[in-house]
A and B are shown apart, each in its own frame.
Chain A
């Protein structure tokens, strides 16, 4: 998945590791390459190490190479993503970017002098949603919000839910994949198995995707990742107002934290979501902390 996107020194080191256990690679100019391999380690030329002196030190060239490859040497084609601070590469790995934002008035034109990359490796965990499927789909599909801190498996769970609902319940699902992480489409074709009843709109805002997608694709269920602000919440309201079911995710580590989110007040008050699924990394990514109903009553732990 990462071949051709990372410098050969890092690729050669990664050959000593199992990609299935690799969750994250962090490149910071002048610092050791750090990986999440079921714990944080430095990357050395022969695999992982605890000793800084043996680690591979990230250079500016390494970062520039990675960004150029991820952009297919075509900044203009990816600048909208760069402005949002990420790039997605085939295979679904997301590269988070940190550097200097170039501003023009209130808008950001691009990010230059990129000094840190966070490469997150997605894992397709088949049937990971089976444990909670009945709570989401019985007796009928419920509007559901998946909550978890970053890296706890929201997107993986959402992807599998899309597959299961599509295959088992034959529902037309529209996935609004703003960052191309859920489906990882290449030339419009999803690289993950999403089921035969799934349609995917990528690279569009949730507002645009939900408003236009519902009109044009007539879905039974819409799915989207990472609701973050008032505009996203409004888009969800719009979808529900159209009589479509919604399954979404958001960054949040507890129900209390969710209640404190100002943009979500209306959603909670109106009991828009009938199910809340809380994930954590307690026993590894994807640990289900609980399934809750619209009154936050625990249905399953």
Chain B
């Protein structure tokens, strides 16, 4: 009975680990897609209404309910200190930091141009994250469970 319980525990842990890795990649895809949505939202709004950055960001968060890391970064921006987050690699953090540093520093024409440039860079990251998710993220889910089952079989 104990052996079966331990075997189930091993399967559970291994699956959870696999799911965790998969989820990490999934979250990264969602994060950069949300950043892209945010940039598009800002471009449209600045182009038409010219509302302030903070007002736009608040409206974006209320409407789009983005990834929690992005919400935290927006809050950091409002507090004027953006921290690094585990979800982001160094260069990605610099890009995100640059986006926020750039906000509100120029007239609408240049602001929109700058945001569009960032948007292209974010597109590349989305593609890369998508690839990573397909390559590693999805497989790690399955591998986690398989590894768990294998270990359990050996154990029994």
Nearest CB on B from A189, distance (A)? 15
A56 interfacial by beta-carbon distance below 8 Å: no
Q: Pick the contact of A110: B50, B54, B107 (CB < 8 A).
A: B107
Question: Are A74 and B107 in contact, with the CB atoms below 8 A?
Answer: no
Contacting residues of chain A (25-64) with chain B, CB-CB under 8 angstroms: none
Question: Are A76 and B54 in contact, with the CB atoms below 8 A?
Answer: no
B111 CB contacts on chain A under 8 angstroms: 75-76
Closest B residue to A82 by CB, please name it.
B107
Question: Are A71 and B104 in contact, with the CB atoms below 8 A?
Answer: yes
- State the CA gap A74–B52 with chains docked (Å): 5
Question: Are B54 and A77 in contact, with the CB atoms below 8 A?
Answer: no
B107 CB contacts on chain A under 8 angstroms: 75-76, 79, 109-110
A72 interfacial by beta-carbon distance below 8 Å: yes
Question: Are A77 and B50 in contact, with the CB atoms below 8 A?
Answer: yes
Question: Are B52 and A72 in contact, with the CB atoms below 8 A?
Answer: yes
Question: Are B53 and A79 in contact, with the CB atoms below 8 A?
Answer: no
Nearest CB on A from B77, distance (A)? 9
Nearest CB on B from A208, distance (A)? 17
Q: Pick the contact of B51: A77, A79, A110 (CB < 8 A).
A: A77
Count of A-B contacts with CB under 8 A?
A: 41
Interface of A is mostly: mixed
Nearest CB on A from B144, distance (A)? 45
A73 interfacial by beta-carbon distance below 8 Å: yes
Contacting residues of chain B (46-79) with chain A, CB-CB under 8 angstroms: 46, 50-55
Question: Are B108 and A73 in contact, with the CB atoms below 8 A?
Answer: no
Question: Are A79 and B108 in contact, with the CB atoms below 8 A?
Answer: yes
A74 CB contacts on chain B under 8 angstroms: 51-54, 103-104
- Size bracket of the A interface: 10 to 19
B54 CB contacts on chain A under 8 angstroms: 72-74
Question: Are B52 and A73 in contact, with the CB atoms below 8 A?
Answer: yes
B83 interfacial by beta-carbon distance below 8 Å: no
Contacting residues of chain B (93-113) with chain A, CB-CB under 8 angstroms: 103-108, 110-111
Nearest CB on B from A5, distance (A)? 14
Question: Are B52 and A75 in contact, with the CB atoms below 8 A?
Answer: no
B51 CB contacts on chain A under 8 angstroms: 74, 77
Question: Are B50 and A75 in contact, with the CB atoms below 8 A?
Answer: no
Nearest CB on B from A185, distance (A)? 14
Closest B residue to A102 by CB, please name it.
B107
A76 CB contacts on chain B under 8 angstroms: 46, 50, 104, 106-108, 110-111
B55 CB contacts on chain A under 8 angstroms: 72
Closest B residue to A83 by CB, please name it.
B107
B103 CB contacts on chain A under 8 angstroms: 73-74
Nearest CB on B from A250, distance (A)? 29
Nearest CB on B from A21, distance (A)? 32
- State the CA gap A110–B105 with chains docked (Å): 12
Interface centre among A73, A74, A75 (most CB of B within 10 A): A74
Interface residues in chain B, defined as those with a beta carbon under 8 Å from any beta carbon in chain A: 46, 50-55, 103-108, 110-111
Known: A73-B103, A76-B108, A76-B111. 12 other contacts (CB 8 A): A71-B52, A72-B54, A72-B55, A72-B104, A74-B53, A74-B104, A75-B111, A76-B106, A77-B53, A77-B104, A79-B107, A109-B107
Report the 4 A-B pairs with minimum CB-CB distance, sorted nearest first: A72-B52, A76-B108, A74-B104, A74-B52
